[in-house]
Structure 1
Amino acid sequence: MDRRSFLTKAAVGGAAAATLATPALAQSTPKVTWRLTSSFPKSLDTIYGGAEVLSKMVSEASDGNFQIQVFAAAEIVPGLQAADATAAGTVEACHTVGYYYWGKDPAWALGAAVPFGLSARGMNAWQYHGGGIDLYNEFLGTKGLVGFPGGNTGAQMGGWFRKEINTVADLSGLKMRIGGFAGKVMEKLGLVPQQVAGGDIYPSLEKGTIDAAEWVGPYDDEKLGFYKVAPYYYYPGWWEGGLTVHFMFNKAAYEGLPKAYQALLRTCCQAEDADMLQKYDSKNPAALKSLVANGAQLRPFSQEILEACFNASQEVYAEMTATNPAFKKIYDSMVAFRADHYLWTQVAEYNYDTFMMIQQRNGKI
């Protein structure tokens, strides 16, 4: 066969192969448009922005064929109804936090954060490599949902207080904007939990309707100006040692996607899970310095208070595991993982970080 004949046949063969491949490619990347409702307002750019990051990644990776339109809280449904709307098929997806729905079933909270649970790194390790994602999806599947981690705030702050809190007795009768598990734990110590929407927290603190409020951390808290009316800023937020935000998808809609799109969603969710934590870690230091410069008074919760809260949380967990099999199955897995996680992190990580923090306090770094 001469060279010209070979090239001609190769060209024809290549064209035929390309023609045969095109239908398969089209099948794997069809045109799909979804709607996603967020539980967050656009003003919280880091946590709300996570859904926009996911949308952009999915669009770029599918050459624009898979589009996810993002809507802020209340544009389609209120923020605390995001998972309900997704399960019902009103929208195909949401970006939300599992513990918002803990009143329906406490097991919802375990995929997000519970008092004295895991740190951000611990949550990620348990979820991706300790069976956490599968266990949570076993539960979510009964609600018509599929979920994947889609962001983490890291350990949150313990909130803003109008007066100093030095002892457990100081919590008695205190009206605090705090909900979920933390509120139930705090009730055992005499605190009175209050459900207050984000936009109403500042005026409630200013008027004295509430005595304290928790939100997220320095970057988000600074925007709301709490330091002006409740100057004592406590830490840590023991109820959210590593809050996981979730992307949840309507189960039927997710299972109806091509396998390539399902894999793409899982990959992009994991990328955004990492991205959000990186953003908070980069933005919180400057925000904390700014808050202190403007009058915020940093205070650690005393060991007495932390011990009392820990003990109270164990009472709550004992009550829940005794009556809720779904909660117990996920909780037992998380607790077993937590024991080994803190066994390891107290060795290298803790000692390295502690040494470096001492150098920072001594002005050497």
Structure 2
Amino acid sequence: MMRTVVAGAALTGAMAAAAWGGAAQAAEIDLRMAIISSENSIYYEDMAKPFADLVAELTDGRVEIEILPAGTVGSVLKLHDAVQDGLIDMAQTTPIFLGTSDLVNAMVASFPTGLGVDSYLPWLYQAGGLELWQEHRRETMGMHALVTSLGPSEFFAHANEPITGADDLEGKKFRTLGNWAAIVEENYGVSPTVVAGSEIYGMLEKGGIDMAEYSIPSENQKIGFHEVAKYIIYPGIQAPAWAFETVMLTETWESLPEDIQRRMELAAELTTHRSLQAMITRDLKALEELQDGGNAFVRLDDAFIADAQEKARAWAMRLAEQAQAEGDDLPMRLAESVFGFQDYWRDNAKYLVMDYRK
């Protein structure tokens, strides 16, 4: 749990800092942060550890974050609960694990055919996205949220046969989850199969599922999905960009000195920017290697991508309207913010030079 060092220890730290030219201080605050994975994953290497390291650096060692890998604090799907129950101080996790009954959780961090790697950060930091996210956590869960990472587009799927559009999806057993599972089941006759990431390889190999989406190219390559499924389907419209949050109780956040809060906010934003660049760079290398291997890359049809966006937005607006009818306007404000900014971006960002070509 969060610990504040007694005055004597703090004084000792200050004396030590003075002896070393003010370069370091003893930790005043210890925080325990659970994460969803082991240390051998992007979620630790590119997200959790860089954030903890930056917090220590920017607070001159006054705040130390202990990272608790998966399995330390119950189910990785229930880390929000662990924070609310007081078992840990913080959790770095995804809102997707909270389910789709609340549209804000279903779309604030990622949404099928939604904001991509080019438009997500401007929406988050300049167009009110972060404020809506934090309002929801505060009002509905009694928590404070810091966005502490952004991941790039995932593969659409590793599949045992080529997939280009709606007709190819009909009747397929698709390992997926969250909002995309609901959308493809409702609109494309897919049978969503929700299994842990550790089970995907074996199920693809044995034909228990026809296709699977999991993570970004470099992470999928590390696990080896390309070894048991010939076709790699792209682009990953189900996760065009995806963010993780670090949550803590509101009372924990408000107990921190204001200068510590500001430095932790800066650490969070820096980690978010850096995580995206780190993962993209690693993914480029993975793509190079995979394209030189024995897999076949298959691109989704533009017509299917457009149809999927229409259906995904309709799904979200239906949930937003239901919530609004029940007196909750935040889902509608979020949906209008995301879709409005995406359309605004597409209409006005044509002057930007993008190096990618189809």
Residue in 1 aligned with 2:64?
67
Q: CA deviation at 1:29?
A: 8.8
Residue in 2 aligned with 1:334?
338
Instruction: Check if 1:277 corresponds to 2:276.
Output: yes
Contact 1:123–1:244 at 8 Å: present in 2 too?
no
Residue in 2 aligned with 1:146?
144
| Partner Cα separation in structure 1 for residue 288 and residue 46 of structure 2 | 23
| Partner Cα separation in structure 1 for residue 130 and residue 198 of structure 2 | 32
Q: CA deviation at 1:331?
A: 1.2
Identity %: 22
Residue in 1 aligned with 2:312?
313
Match for residue 97 of structure 1 among 94, 97, 101:
94
- Which amino acid counterpart does residue 60 of structure 2 have in structure 1? D
Residue in 1 aligned with 2:160?
162
Q: CA deviation at 1:40?
A: 2.3
Match for residue 42 of structure 1 among 20, 39, 44:
39
Q: CA deviation at 1:101?
A: 1.1
**CA RMSD in angstroms, aligned pairs only:** 2.2
Structure 1 length as normaliser, TM-score? 0.85
Q: CA deviation at 1:39?
A: 1.6
Contact 2:27–2:62 at 8 Å: present in 1 too?
yes
Number of matched pairs:
331
Instruction: Check if 1:186 corresponds to 2:190.
Output: no
- Which amino acid counterpart does residue 344 of structure 2 have in structure 1? D
Alpha carbons of 1:77 and 1:138: their partners in 2 closer, same or farther (altered >3 Å)?
Answer: same
| Partner Cα separation in structure 2 for residue 193 and residue 346 of structure 1 | 36
| Partner Cα separation in structure 1 for residue 126 and residue 306 of structure 2 | 30
Contact 2:157–2:233 at 8 Å: present in 1 too?
yes
| Partner Cα separation in structure 2 for residue 120 and residue 74 of structure 1 | 31
Contact 2:164–2:298 at 8 Å: present in 1 too?
no
Match for residue 118 of structure 1 among 115, 120, 124:
115
| 1:53-88 deviation per Cα after TM superposition (whole angstroms, max 9, x unaligned) | 111122223332211100112212221111221223
How do 1:203-222 and structure 2 match up within 5 A?
203-222=202-221
Alpha carbons of 1:348 and 1:56: their partners in 2 closer, same or farther (altered >3 Å)?
Answer: closer
Contact 2:111–2:238 at 8 Å: present in 1 too?
yes
| Partner Cα separation in structure 2 for residue 231 and residue 53 of structure 1 | 34
Q: CA deviation at 1:48?
A: 4.9
- Which amino acid counterpart does residue 288 of structure 2 have in structure 1? K
The answer to which of 308-317 and 43-52 deviates more is 43-52
Contact 1:201–1:213 at 8 Å: present in 2 too?
yes
Alpha carbons of 1:128 and 1:154: their partners in 2 closer, same or farther (altered >3 Å)?
Answer: same
Alpha carbons of 1:167 and 1:129: their partners in 2 closer, same or farther (altered >3 Å)?
Answer: closer
Contact 1:38–1:48 at 8 Å: present in 2 too?
no
Provide the secondary structure at the position in 1 that maps to 2:318: helix
Contact 1:119–1:241 at 8 Å: present in 2 too?
yes
Please identify which structure carries the higher helix content: 1
| 1:289-326 deviation per Cα after TM superposition (whole angstroms, max 9, x unaligned) | 21223322111011232233223213312311211233
| 1:185-235 deviation per Cα after TM superposition (whole angstroms, max 9, x unaligned) | 111110111101010000011111111000112210101111121111011
Q: CA deviation at 1:45?
A: 3.4
Contact 2:73–2:82 at 8 Å: present in 1 too?
no
- Which amino acid counterpart does residue 137 of structure 2 have in structure 1? L
Q: CA deviation at 1:177?
A: 0.6
Contact 1:235–1:299 at 8 Å: present in 2 too?
yes
How do 1:224-239 and structure 2 match up within 5 A?
224-239=223-238
Provide the secondary structure at the position in 2 that maps to 1:348: coil
Where structure 1 has 5 or more consecutive residues not aligned to the other structure, the ranges are: 1-17, 359-365
Contact 2:217–2:283 at 8 Å: present in 1 too?
yes
| Partner Cα separation in structure 2 for residue 185 and residue 260 of structure 1 | 43
Residue in 2 aligned with 1:349?
353
| Partner Cα separation in structure 1 for residue 167 and residue 258 of structure 2 | 56
| Partner Cα separation in structure 2 for residue 37 and residue 124 of structure 1 | 25
Alpha carbons of 1:252 and 1:295: their partners in 2 closer, same or farther (altered >3 Å)?
Answer: same
